[in-house]
Structure 1
Amino acid sequence: MVEAFGAKPAPIRIRMMGGTVPTAEIVDALQVPFDIVPLVNADNNQHTANENMRMGNYINGVRTLYSLVTSPL
């Protein structure tokens, strides 16, 4: 994200995810780093009839994901 957006300071990395996403089980089983990059806006009303996503969040999310998969480790 620093490369893609020039983020200063660097984003905070927290090993957690809301809901029932089993990140700890995946990390423990595969012994590899694991990242989840949410693309939704904070008021998206997830899992309701009026669920929504702003195009700006989607575009920035795609940019972030592209940067993650094309950057060397």
Structure 2
Amino acid sequence: MGVWLRKAITENVGKDPVIIRMMGGTVPVVPFIQELNVPAVLVPLVNMDNNQHSPNENLRLGNLRTGIKTCLAILNTPL
């Protein structure tokens, strides 16, 4: 799964993704993985200083544009 995802992003966005094995504690994905018995990945698309869940939460337009390209690349790349 990781090799496919890295290829999808690299080929369609033009840059190697930064891969860090961690995610915030408010993402309840484990029950879905266990119940559906499918692999899953989380692909954060926000800027590092976006202040998630705070009054001044933000998303840079460049990150939105790249996020759209990234999602399209993932959806359009066969396994």
Indicate the TM-score class for this superposition, using the shorter chain for normalisation.
Answer: 0.7 to 0.9
TM-score by length of 1: 0.79
Q: TM-score, normalised on structure 2?
A: 0.74
Alignment partners' CA distance in 1, 2:53 and 2:11 = 32
Correspondence 1:1-73 to 2 at 5 A: 1-8=9-16, 11-12=18-19, 14=21, 16-73=22-79
Paired-residue identity, %: 46
- Structure-1 separation of matches of 2:20 and 2:77: 17
Instruction: Give the letter for the 1:19 counterpart.
Output: G
RMSD, aligned α-carbons: 1.8
Taking the aligned partners of 1:67 and 1:13, their CA distance within structure 2 comes to 20
> Structure 2: any 5+ residue segments left out of the alignment?
1-8
Contact 2:46 2:59 in 1 (8 A): yes
Q: How far apart are residue 17 of structure 1 and its match?
A: 2.3
- Give the ranges of 4+ consecutive aligned residues of structure 1 lying more than 6 Å apart after TM superposition: none
Structure with greater helix share of residues: 2
Count the aligned residue pairs: 71
Label 1:46 to 1:11 Cα distance change in 2 as closer, same or farther (>3 A): closer
Q: What SS class does the counterpart of residue 18 from structure 1 fall into?
A: coil
